[in-house]
């Protein structure tokens, strides 16, 4: 799933093809801690989002701990100890600690790099955002790629 459905994914704070990976649970998006993630996690998440999996990678360490620089989120940290084996259909299906049970801080938020994803992609993919009853901030789309709607292949 993608967007505002249980287990739906959203890419936030993108920098090129790499973004923070957020997941929807209990009515709100929250981040995923980078503890225990592997390359399998990246491939499952990119596939779930509709991107290529070859060349997919995770960013660990967030902006803290000398990590790879994923912009930390705010609010809930929903998942920790995400242990994907590579056979799961979605991140939602991967074994993990109980929702909201973590020993992480936002400096450990998981980043995801999908070929063609984020703002540095090849231009083949676009996001069609659904309207929301909440008011939008004036931040530009360069800070968030909203996946609240359907993914579609842009005619080019």
107 has pLDDT over 60? yes
Question: Which residues, including other chains, have CB under 8 Å from residue 27's CB and lie 6 or more apart?
Answer: none
Compute, in degrees rounded to 10, the torsion defined by CA atoms 29, 152, 58, 13: -50
Q: Which residues contact residue 84 at a Cβ distance below 8 angstroms, ignoring those fewer than 6 apart? A: 37, 38, 40, 41, 44, 91, 94, 95
Token look-up 């890419």 returns: 11
This prediction has a pTM of: 0.72
Sort strands 57-59 and 77-79 into parallel, antiparallel or unpaired: unpaired
Task: Give me the pLDDT at residue 103, please.
Answer: 94
- Distances 151 to 3, 59, 85, 140 between C-alpha atoms, Å: 10, 23, 25, 19
Give per-residue pLDDT as tens, 122-140: 323 333 222 233 333 333 3
Predicted local confidence at residue 114, as pLDDT: 92
Q: Are 84 and 94 in contact (CB under 8 A)?
A: yes
Calpha distance 57→10 (Å, rounded):
16
Residue 62: per-residue pLDDT = 57
pLDDT tens profile 25-76:
999 999 999 999 999 999 999 999 999 999 999 988 655 555 566 788 999 9
């Amino acid at each position: 799933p993608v967007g505002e459905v249980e287990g739906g994914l959203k890419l936030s704070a993108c920098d090129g093809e790499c973004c923070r990976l957020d997941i929807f649970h209990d009515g709100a998006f929250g981040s995923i801690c980078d503890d225990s993630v592997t390359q399998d996690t990246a491939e499952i998440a990119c596939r779930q989002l509709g991107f290529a999996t070859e060349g997919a990678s995770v960013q660990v360490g967030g902006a803290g701990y000398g990590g790879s620089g994923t912009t930390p989120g705010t609010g809930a940290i929903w998942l920790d100890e995400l242990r994907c084996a590579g056979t799961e259909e979605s991140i939602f299906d991967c074994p993990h600690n109980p929702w909201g049970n973590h020993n992480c801080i936002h400096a450990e938020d998981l980043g995801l790099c999908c070929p063609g994803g984020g703002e540095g992609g090849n231009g083949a993919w676009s996001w069609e955002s659904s309207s929301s009853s909440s008011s939008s901030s004036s931040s530009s789309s360069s800070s968030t790629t909203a996946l609240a709607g359907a993914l579609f292949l842009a005619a080019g």
